[in-house]
């Protein structure tokens, strides 16, 4: 009887990642409609909900140890890489955080590793679906998605005053607040992080659907691009978000067409 309960208990929590993902979507819709302290509260809520989706989905779909491992791994890598970046300018370029993000560890606000967690696990899950038989391909795809996501996120966070760049030029055409070194840094950090995530979770068998993290990924990139174009006055990052998403969308569509009916 105990064994049966142990097997069934995680199943009862299968509703949690989709519920958190839907709450995140609703909260993200509110972001461009708010300002000041209300927008800060929305930003915190989005990050907390998104990190909750990542950890709960990893735990439910691939086991509690994997869920805790994802939380610990991403948090440690994020703090170390961000602390290195703050101290040396490597790998992103020279930048600084504002006090609006709250308490810090090694100069890194607690919100930042949670934001990494929000971004990292959905990027890896999508890569695992697109390249189920190739570990190197999964790492490369996940690192690309992880970095492309930041192309949309970073200008929005600079606009909100959460951080700023000492030398924001040269940048991508249409984005004048974030340097190209940041994109290169995210690609490098993504390769390191996704390699470690692959070692942690790559052999774990999925025991559930991936709708929740993929909804978060889709909404935060394409929905974010829509918000940038329509409400936030950031057309450059909106265009780049769509352009960088097109190869991934094409790969998803191609995979769906090839799926047996």
* Candidate from 5-9, 56-60, 62-66, 124-128 with smallest mean pLDDT: 5-9
| Separation CA 246–CA 232 (nearest Å) | 22
pTM for this entry: 0.93
Q: What is the mean pLDDT of residues 134-146?
A: 97
Backbone torsion region of residue 95, taken as left when φ is above 0, otherwise alpha when ψ lies between -120 and 50, otherwise beta: beta
pLDDT > 80? residue 1: no
pLDDT band (50, 70, 90) for residue 203: confident
pLDDT in tens, 10-47: 457 899 999 999 999 999 999 999 999 999 999 999 99
Per cent of the chain over pLDDT 90 is 87
Which residue, 112, 103, 111, is CA-closest to 84?
112
DSSP string across the chain:
-HHHHHHHHHHTTTTHHHHHHHHHHHHHHHGGG--HHHHHHHHHHHHHHHHHHHHHHHHHHH-HHHHHHHHHHHHHHHHHHHHHHHHH-TTT-SEEE-GGG--EETTEETHHHHHHHHHHHHHHHHHHHH-TT-HHHHHHHHHHHHHHHHHHHHHHHHHTTSEEES---S-STT--SS-HHHHHHHHHHHHHHHHHHHHHHTTSPP-S--HHHHHHHHIIIIIHHHHHHHTSS-HHHHHHHHHHHHHHHHHHHHHHHHS--
Note whether 100 and 162 are within 8 A (CB): yes
Q: What is the mean pLDDT of residues 106-122?
A: 96
Which residue, 67, 86, 71, 66, is CA-closest to 16?
67
Average per-residue pLDDT for the chain = 93
CA 22 from chain centre, in angstroms, equals 16
Q: What is the mean pLDDT of residues 151-174?
A: 96
The reported pLDDT for the residue numbered 257 is 86
The reported pLDDT for the residue numbered 11 is 52
pLDDT in tens, 236-246: 999 999 999 99
pLDDT > 50? residue 9: no
The reported pLDDT for the residue numbered 188 is 97
Sequence ranges of the domains in the chain: 14-255
Q: What is the mean pLDDT of residues 222-237?
A: 96
């Amino acid at each position: 009887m105990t064994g049966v309960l142990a097997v069934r208990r995680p199943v009862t929590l299968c509703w949690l990642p989709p519920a958190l993902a839907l709450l995140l979507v609703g909260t993200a819709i509110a972001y461009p409609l708010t300002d000041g302290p209300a927008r800060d509260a929305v930003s915190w809520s989005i990050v907390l909900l998104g990190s909750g989706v990542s950890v709960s989905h990893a735990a439910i779909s691939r086991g509690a140890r994997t869920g805790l491992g994802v939380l610990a791994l991403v948090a440690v890598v994020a703090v170390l890489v961000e602390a290195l970046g703050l101290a040396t300018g490597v790998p992103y370029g020279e930048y600084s955080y504002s006090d609006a993000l709250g308490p810090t560890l090694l100069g890194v606000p607690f919100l930042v590793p949670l934001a990494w967690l929000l971004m990292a696990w959905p990027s890896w899950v999508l890569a695992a679906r697109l390249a189920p038989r190739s570990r190197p391909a999964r790492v490369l795809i996940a690192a690309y998605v992880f970095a492309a996501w930041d192309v949309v996120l970073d200008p929005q966070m600079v606009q909100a005053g959460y951080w700023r760049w000492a030398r924001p030029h040269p940048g991508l055409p249409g984005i004048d607040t974030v340097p190209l070194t940041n994109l290169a840094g995210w690609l490098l950090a993504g390769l390191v992080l996704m390699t470690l995530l692959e070692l942690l979770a790559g052999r774990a068998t999925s025991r559930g659907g991936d709708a929740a993290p993929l909804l978060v990924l889709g909404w935060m990139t394409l929905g974010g691009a829509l918000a940038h174009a329509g409400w936030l006055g950031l057309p450059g990052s909106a265009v780049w978000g769509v352009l960088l998403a097109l190869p991934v969308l094409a790969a998803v569509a191609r995979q769906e067409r090839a799926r047996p009916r």
